Structure 1
C-alpha cells in the first residue's frame, strides 16, 4: 500500500499544531488517526461541546483501582487537539491508535511502575530526541533550537523531522524504552486497518510523535506485529475527560512530554500577528497590575531591544530568551524579582481547563461538582486564600466540604494561618489550588460512597477502627466535628472510649487530650452535641494527672524535652476546659512536678514557670526553687535544663523583657554564681538565651546594665518596675469595652475593672 500521510509532531508544539492544520486542509484525508488510547474514541465528540475548554486531559484508570491511572493532556496548541477539532468540524472520522490503556496500565503494574504521574501517550525515552538534534545543530538549548527550526518558520517540517528521527532511531534504537516497540506494532496494525477501510495514501492521515514516524514507515508483516502483542496483560479501565493546567504541562511538574513555557507557546499559537509586540504588551499590563510604572515608551524600547538581540544572535525572530532579556533590562530595571512573577503568571501560566457536565464521571465526582457550584467554590489552578466565617451558613458548608475532602485524601484545600492574625474558633483560613491529580484522588475515594458526605462518613469509621494510636482517634474525632460527620461520631467515640481505657502510656494520653478539647470548641461553634466528648476529655485529663508524676522521673534529655511538650499541651487543653475542679487538680500536679527532685530539670523548670504565670507561685517560692535547681551541687546540665524550662522558648525572652520580676530572679542567681561554676554554666545559658531574637537580647542587656529600678524588682522588696501594688480601676475601665469586644462578649462600658 501507498504510505499514509505521516505528520510527526512535537507534543504541545504550536508550530507543529499550525503545520498539522495546514497539512489536513491541503490533503483533506478521509480519516484522521491520532496517537492516543483507543478507549477514548467514544469521547471524541465531547471536544466539540460548548463546555470543553483546553487544557484538558484524557484520564484512564483501572475500574477497581482508580489509583492506577494515566493522563493524556491536550492544550489548545497541541497538534493532536488541532487534529481532533479539524476532523469534527469537517465530519471526518477520527480514531486513536496507540496501545490501549487496558494493556498499558496492566503492563505498568506488572513492571512495578505504579501510578502514572504524567502523560502516557508520549515516549518515556531515555534519549531526548530534541536535545540530541539541538546539540547536533550546535545549540545548547533544545527549546531555542525548536523555536528556530519550527516555531519561527511557516514551512512544514514534517519531512525533515521524519528524516532526523530516522537517523536517531538507527543510532539509538528504541531510545532505552522497549515498550515503544509494542506500541508501534499496535499503531501499524491500526494504520493498515484504516487503509483497507478508507483507502491508501493521503486518504489516511496519522498525527503522532515524530519519534514514531520511522517505525510507522518500517515495512513489517502483520504476523510479526501481532506476535509482539501476543500475551499482553489486560485490565478493565474507565476513561473520561478531566481539567488540566498549564502548570502541569510544564516540564518542572514531572510531566513526561512537558514544555518549559506553555503560556508562551499558547500566546504564539493564538495571536494572529506581531507576537513579540503583543507579548510585551501583556507583560506591561501584568506589571501595571502590580503597581509598577511601565509606559508605552518602555514597551517600544523593549520590542526594539528584543529584535536587536535576535539579529545579533542570528535568530530568525525574537524568541522567549530575547523577550525575557529585554523585559529584564527595560521593564524590570535589571531586577529578577518581577521577572519571576512574569515567568509564573505568563510564561508558565495558571490556566485551568474545563470539561462539559456530560463527560463521564464517578458519582462522587458529580456530587462534588454539584457542591462546588452550589457553594460558589470554583476550582482554579491559581492558589488563592479563602477566609471562612463559620457563623455563616454558606461558609460553614464550605468548611465542612473542605474538611471532608481532606479526610478522603483529596487535598484541594490546606488550612492556613490567617493574614489578619485571627485565631478565633469562628474563623478558618484555607489555601485552595486544584491540581489535575485530584481527579484521580476523587475516583479513588469513590469506593467509600457516592456522595462526599457518605464517603467521608464511611472513611472516618474505617480510619477510627484502624487507627494505630489514641492520638489518631482523637484527631479523627476533631476532624469529624469540623467536617460535620455526625453519623460517624458514634463509631469514632466508641473506639475512642475503648482506646482511652486501655492505653496506659501517659505520652499517648497527653497527645490525645488537646485534640479532644479542640473538638469540644469546634463542636460548640457548629452547634454539635459534644456531651459524650466532654466526658471522655474529663476522664482522659484525670488519667493524665495521675500518671504524669511517675512518668516524669528518670528521663534522658530527649525524653525530658518531649515530656516538657506534653506538659505544655496538657496545660493549654486544661485551660480551655470550663471545669474549676480540673484546674485545681492540674495546679496540684504542676506543684508536685515543680518540687520533686526526681523529675527532669526541664520539666521542673517549665512547671514552675506555668505556676508563676498562673499566680499560683509567689516570687519567694520561685526564687527558692531556682536556688535549689541552680545550686553548686546540681550538675551543670541539669541546672541549664531547669533554666531552659523556666525561661526557654520563643516567649521566654519577651517574658523577661516585660516582666522584670522574672529577670531579677535570673539576675540574682547569676550574680551569685561563683567563678568556677560560672565557667561551667555559661555555655549552657548561651544555649538558652541564643534562641531569643536579637532585639530581645539587646533589650535584656540594656535592662541588666541599668540595674534594679527604683523600688527594686528584687523578690520581696516591694513594687516591681512597671507593676502597681494595687489594681488601677480607672485604667482598667478605659480599656474594658475594647477587650470585651475583642473577646466577642460585647461592649459593656462602666462596669468597673474591679
Structure 2
C-alpha cells in the first residue's frame, strides 16, 4: 500500500510502502526483493527489536551465514532471554541484505527487547484465539491454513501481491480480537515510522508481519494516542548479539511460535530457482542411497512426472510440498512411512546450522570457547556425531578436557556414550556431539563464573563443593570430574574438603558412596599423568573406617535400606577389586566374611556377600552351596529366602547354568513351596530372573527341563556288588530270570 505523508518540516512528500509478509516465507521473500528493486527505498523499517539496530551492519559480513538469530538476554539474569530467528528465505533477512547491498539504512521498528523480555502477557492476551487465516483458507476450499498460504503465496513470486494481502488482513482484523500487546507493538512501529519521516527519509519501506500491515497503512493519526499506549512500559537492562541457529529450531514442532513446518523445503525453494522440483527429488534420492536403498534415476524421473501430474490436477502453478511428499512416498519410498519420516527429518525440516562473524559482540567466555573449539578442530554441528578419543594423544586429551569442562558449567555439547571401538583400558572415550542453539544462552549464564572455560569450570566446581548440603559422595564425584577435566589448581582444595567432610561424617553409606569415584579418579590419573598419591591416601582411610563400621551398619535393615546398601556394597567391591591391591582387598574381604554368617542381617545382603566371597575365591563352591541350602531350609519365611536368593544371584544367571548343584537346590526349594508361600516369594524371584540375559534364562530353563540335570552331578563311588544284589532282587520281584 502507498501512503502520502506530509510532515510539516519536509517540503517534499514522503512515500511509504508497507509490505505485509509471512515470517520465514520464501515466496514473501522473493516478492519482497522484487518490490524493493522496483520501489528503491532510501530507508527500510523491519519488524524486530529496535535496540538491535547496532547489530544490523554485521549482516553484511561475508562470515555471516543464516540461519542465525538475534539473542537478547537480561544482563542481570541471562536465563531470561529471547530469540528472533532469521533464515536466508526470511523476508526480513532479505530486506536487511538488500539494504546493505544498496547502501540504504535498515533499522528495526518493533518494541525493544528491553521492554519485551520478562514481561508477562496481560490477561486478555491469554484468551484462546483461533488462527484468523483458517477462515481465509476455508473460504478458498482448504482445510489447512498452512497449505493454503503455501499454495497461494509461497509458491509464487509477485511484487503486486502485497496490496491484496494487506486488504485481506484488514478484513480479518475487523472481526478478530486484537490483544493489548499487539496494539502496543503497532503503536511503537508507527512511532518509529514517524521518526523516519521526521529524519528526512523520502521513500520508506516497512517490512512487517502481514497481520500488522493494516495498522501501518493510511493515515497514521496523532502521535499522542500511540504515546499513551506506550507510556509506563517496564524496562529491563538487556544485551543483544547474533548467534547461530538451525532449521530445526525454525520448525513449528520445536515450539517456536512463528515456526513453519518445512524450513528445509523453503530454503530449497528460495535458493534453487531453476528446476526446483527435479533438484529436490534428486536430493531425496541421494539421501535414500546413503541408506543403501536401491533408488535409480528412473525413480527420480517417475516421481517428477507424478509430482507435475498432481500439481496439474489441483490447478497449481507449481508443485508444492504436498505433491512432492506424495510422489516421494509412492515412488521413492514404496509407501514406507518410516523412510518418509527420514526424508522429513533430513530434508523437509533439515539441520542446517548458521554461523556468525568473529567480531560479533559476545561474552569473553563464548570467545574463549570458540577459540578453543577452532584450535582443537571441533565443529559445532546440529546433528549428532560420534567422536572417539584416544587419551594417549595430546590433541584427543585436550578435546576430552574441554568437553568435560563444558559439562561442569552446564553446556552439554558432548555426552559420554558407549564406545564402538573395543577397548578394556581407561585411555579411550567416546562422545556424541550435538550443538543446540540454546547453548548460546547457557554460555552467557556460565559467563558469571569466569572469562575462560577453564576458569569458569574451576569456579563452578569449588562453589558446589563449598555448599553446606554437598554430601561426601558428591564431593568425591566432583574430585573425579575435576581430575578428568584437568582442573589441577582446584584438586588440593577439593581433597582438603573431602578429608574434612569424611572426618566428620560417620554414616557408612556416605563413606561407601565416596569410594568408587575416588578409585576411578586414581585410574584416570594413571592415563592422564596426574599424581594421585593424596587421593590414594584418602581412599585408604575411608576404607579403614568403612570396614570398622560396616558390621553395625548392616544390622536390622528394612527391605528398602537393604537394597540401597547392597548397591553401595556392590560398587565398593568392584572398586576394591579394580585397584588390585592385596592389602586393601584383604581388609575388605575380611569385613565381608565377618558379616556373612550373621543371622541379624537382611537376607538380600547376606546372599550378596556370599556370592562376592565365592566369586573372589574366599569361600569354596561347596561352601556356597551349603550356605544356600541352609538359607532355603525350613524355618525362614519364603520372602526372606527369596531375598537371599536375589542377593546371591544378582548380576547374572551363568552361575546356575554352570553349577547344577546350586540349580538343583533352588529347584527343590521352589518345588517344595506351598501355594501361598509360592505367591509370596514369586515377585522377588521374578525380579531376580528377569534381570538375567535372555540367553541365560533359556539355558536355565533348558537345564531344568532336561532329565536328570537337576540331580547331583558330583562323582560318586559305585559299589558293583551291592548293585548286583539289588538287580537280582528286582528281577525276582518282576519274575524275570537274571
- Same fold flag (TM > 0.5): yes
Alignment of 1:240-389 (within 5 A): 240-389=241-390
Question: Are 2:652 and 2:693, in contact at CA under 8 Å, matched by a contact in 1?
Answer: no
CA distance in 1, matches of 2:654, 2:703: 12
Residue matched to 2:170: 166
CA distance in 2, matches of 1:405, 1:54: 26
Mapped pair 1:623 → 2:625: yes
SS in 2 for 1:350: coil
RMSD between aligned residues: 2.5
SS in 2 for 1:292: coil
Residue matched to 1:143: 146
Flag the 1:127–1:543 CA change in 2: closer, same or farther, 3 A: farther
Bigger-Rg structure (1/2) = 2
CA distance in 2, matches of 1:441, 1:124: 32
Residue matched to 2:181: 179
Question: Are 1:47 and 1:85, in contact at CA under 8 Å, matched by a contact in 2?
Answer: yes
CA distance in 1, matches of 2:235, 2:509: 50
SS in 2 for 1:5: strand
CA distance in 2, matches of 1:391, 1:141: 58
State the shift of 1:439 in Å: 1.1
CA distance in 1, matches of 2:680, 2:228: 80
Alignment of 1:114-125 (within 5 A): none
CA distance in 1, matches of 2:323, 2:676: 68
Residue matched to 2:437: 436
Residue matched to 1:702: 702
CA deviation profile, 1:92-150 (whole Å, cap 9, x unmatched) = 11111111111212535x989xxxxxxxxx99995434444334433222221111110
CA distance in 2, matches of 1:41, 1:241: 12
SS in 2 for 1:713: coil
Question: Are 1:520 and 1:530, in contact at CA under 8 Å, matched by a contact in 2?
Answer: yes
CA distance in 2, matches of 1:538, 1:135: 76
Residue matched to 2:19: 7
Residue matched to 2:598: 596
State the shift of 1:322 in Å: 1.7
Residue matched to 1:25: 37
CA distance in 1, matches of 2:674, 2:154: 80
CA distance in 2, matches of 1:127, 1:519: 58
SS in 2 for 1:291: coil
Alignment of 1:203-214 (within 5 A): 203-214=203-214
CA distance in 2, matches of 1:462, 1:111: 39
State the shift of 1:680 in Å: 5.7
Q: Aligned match of 2:587 in 564, 585, 590? A: 585
Higher deviation after alignment, 278-287 or 544-553: 544-553
Question: Are 2:652 and 2:691, in contact at CA under 8 Å, matched by a contact in 1?
Answer: no
Q: Aligned match of 2:91 in 75, 79, 88? A: 79
Alignment of 1:198-597 (within 5 A): 198-199=200-201, 203-217=203-217, 219-422=220-423, 424-466=425-467, 468-597=470-599
Flag the 1:502–1:285 CA change in 2: closer, same or farther, 3 A: same
SS in 2 for 1:64: coil
Higher deviation after alignment, 163-172 or 395-404: 163-172
Alignment of 1:590-669 (within 5 A): 590-648=592-650, 651-660=651-660, 662-667=662-667, 669=669
Question: Are 1:38 and 1:99, in contact at CA under 8 Å, matched by a contact in 2?
Answer: yes
Flag the 1:351–1:681 CA change in 2: closer, same or farther, 3 A: closer
CA distance in 2, matches of 1:81, 1:107: 26
State the shift of 1:669 in Å: 4.5
Flag the 1:694–1:451 CA change in 2: closer, same or farther, 3 A: closer
SS in 2 for 1:387: strand
CA distance in 2, matches of 1:340, 1:235: 43
Question: Are 2:190 and 2:220, in contact at CA under 8 Å, matched by a contact in 1?
Answer: no
Residue matched to 2:196: 194
State the shift of 1:683 in Å: 6.0
CA distance in 2, matches of 1:124, 1:453: 47
CA distance in 1, matches of 2:66, 2:126: 22
State the shift of 1:311 in Å: 3.4
State the shift of 1:358 in Å: 1.2
Mapped pair 1:67 → 2:79: yes
Which runs of 5 or more residues in structure 2 are unaligned? 6-14, 718-738
SS in 2 for 1:172: coil
Higher deviation after alignment, 387-396 or 579-588: 579-588
SS in 1 for 2:208: strand
CA distance in 1, matches of 2:640, 2:138: 65
State the shift of 1:314 in Å: 4.6
Which runs of 5 or more residues in structure 1 are unaligned? 113-121, 719-754
Question: Are 2:365 and 2:453, in contact at CA under 8 Å, matched by a contact in 1?
Answer: yes
Higher deviation after alignment, 470-479 or 157-166: 157-166
CA distance in 2, matches of 1:483, 1:111: 47
State the shift of 1:533 in Å: 1.2
CA distance in 2, matches of 1:642, 1:274: 72
Residue matched to 2:10: none
CA deviation profile, 1:649-707 (whole Å, cap 9, x unmatched) = xx422332244454344345446667886676556534432443443322212222335
State the shift of 1:619 in Å: 2.6
CA deviation profile, 1:717-753 (whole Å, cap 9, x unmatched) = 69xxxxxxxxxxxxxxxxxxxxxxxxxxxxxxxxxxx
CA distance in 2, matches of 1:641, 1:538: 32
Higher deviation after alignment, 232-241 or 275-284: 232-241
Flag the 1:542–1:236 CA change in 2: closer, same or farther, 3 A: same
State the shift of 1:298 in Å: 0.5
TM-score (norm 1): 0.88
State the shift of 1:197 in Å: 2.3
Higher deviation after alignment, 511-520 or 63-72: 63-72
Matched length: 701
State the shift of 1:360 in Å: 1.0
CA distance in 1, matches of 2:423, 2:214: 63
CA distance in 2, matches of 1:80, 1:316: 26
